[in-house]
């Protein structure tokens, strides 16, 4: 007689709704960490499949086990234990976690996620690519189980269908757009010297929005000089040496940080020295990175205005209200794929 197989599917989510940025950044996963964590779970609890999505607004851990019916709670707590130990997080994590169990519940969430319904900026497209990249990474590194494999393939199909058959992504704003809108309303940027730190997708979008507002005095710096030069050439910008970042922050008016650095680029001591050299000249820093590029607890520094991802909520709320009808329409389409 063939042995029946029971598959347990679960999700642990630490996201912008459940946790502040200071918690989310502690659980951001670089690609190499995903592999190490997968190996740890295989050793500690024989996980059969794992996909980790890690962005500025969320870290989500999708897991799969065979033949563990009735052990959902035990496995959830075991993974949580491994997670806090892996990330060296001694404080209580439970208040900041959203969990889902069962294929239907997890699928519904994933399909909403890739369609842009769970995003801070409803309808934004970056999450679609981020889910795909997380799936392909897990696939390449043989981290997938059969159920998660099919679930993520189906989610990509669903996300594409929803975006093609609704206006959920039409004119969708990004985190970069929201940041530029906020700072352009608070400051006169036409005569400001703006430094963009980083040369990735978020930096690219930030520069595009600034240029669309006819703001020309933009500079870029990047740790990888070749990539920074290519980025600057594409947009007609001037490159500043990354090793002179601290000196350049003394002379610019606005700095937008969008890097993938795993630790702060600017320490509290660095920033205090910078502000001292600037004397009475104010500095605006927009830190769109998670983990943050600017060391925590700098908001009270005289002359410094610091905005991070969690400071974009006003524009986010306007975006949500504008898209309510499309959200409902998108959900009806998602339900057909479940």
Helix 324-337 to helix 313-322 angle, to the nearest 10 degrees? Answer: 70
In sequence order, the 6+-apart residues with CB closer than 8 A to the CB of 253 are: 187, 192, 193, 194, 281, 282, 283, 284
* Helix, strand, coil abundance in the chain, percent, nearest 5: 50, 15, 35
Element holding 15 (H helix, E strand): strand 7-15
In sequence order, the 6+-apart residues with CB closer than 8 A to the CB of 21 are: 290, 292, 308, 309, 310
| Residues tagged active-site | 56
Length of the chain: 338
Integer Cα distance of 178 and 292 in angstroms: 18
Element holding 287 (H helix, E strand): strand 283-287
Q: What is the DSSP string of 34-49?
A: HHHHHHHHHHHH--SE
CA-based nearest residue to 19, from 82, 85, 94, 77: 94
Integer Cα distance of 59 and 55 in angstroms: 6
Q: What is the DSSP string of 127-149?
A: HHHHHHHHHHHHHHTT---HHHH
Tokens, residue 193: 């010297």
Integer Cα distance of 158 and 121 in angstroms: 19
Q: How many Cα atoms within 13 Å fall on the side-chain side of residue 68?
A: 20
């Amino acid at each position: 007689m063939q042995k029946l197989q029971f598959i347990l599917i679960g999700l642990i989510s630490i996201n912008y709704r459940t946790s502040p940025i200071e918690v989310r950044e502690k659980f951001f996963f670089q690609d190499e960490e995903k592999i190490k964590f997968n190996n740890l779970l295989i050793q500690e609890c024989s996980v059969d499949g794992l996909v980790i999505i890690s962005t500025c607004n969320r870290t989500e851990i999708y897991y799969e086990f065979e033949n563990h019916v009735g052990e959902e709670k035990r496995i959830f707590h075991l993974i949580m234990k491994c997670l806090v130990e892996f990330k060296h997080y001694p404080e209580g994590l439970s208040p900041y976690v959203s969990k889902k169990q069962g294929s239907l519940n997890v699928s519904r969430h994933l399909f909403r996620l890739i369609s842009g319904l769970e995003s801070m900026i409803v309808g934004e497209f970056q999450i679609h690519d981020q889910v795909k990249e997380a799936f392909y990474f897990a696939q390449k590194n043989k981290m997938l189980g059969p159920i998660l494999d099919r679930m993520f393939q189906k989610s990509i199909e669903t996300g594409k269908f929803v975006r093609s058959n609704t206006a959920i992504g039409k004119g969708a704003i990004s985190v970069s757009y929201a940041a530029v809108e906020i700072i352009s309303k608070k400051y006169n940027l036409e005569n400001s010297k703006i430094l963009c730190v980083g040369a990735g997708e978020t930096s690219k979008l930030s520069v595009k929005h600034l240029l669309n507002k006819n703001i020309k005095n933009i500079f870029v710096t990047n740790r990888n000089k070749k990539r920074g030069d290519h980025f600057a050439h594409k947009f007609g910008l001037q490159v500043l040496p990354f090793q002179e970042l601290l000196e350049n922050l003394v002379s610019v008016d606005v700095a937008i940080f969008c890097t993938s650095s795993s630790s702060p680029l600017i320490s509290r001591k660095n920033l205090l020295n910078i502000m001292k050299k600037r004397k009475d000249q104010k500095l605006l820093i927009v830190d769109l990175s998670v983990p943050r590029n600017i060391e925590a607890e700098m908001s009270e520094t005289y002359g410094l205005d610091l905005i991070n991802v969690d400071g974009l909520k006003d524009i986010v709320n306007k975006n949500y209200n504008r898209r309510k009808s499309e959200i409902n329409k998108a959900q009806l389409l998602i339900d057909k794929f479940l």
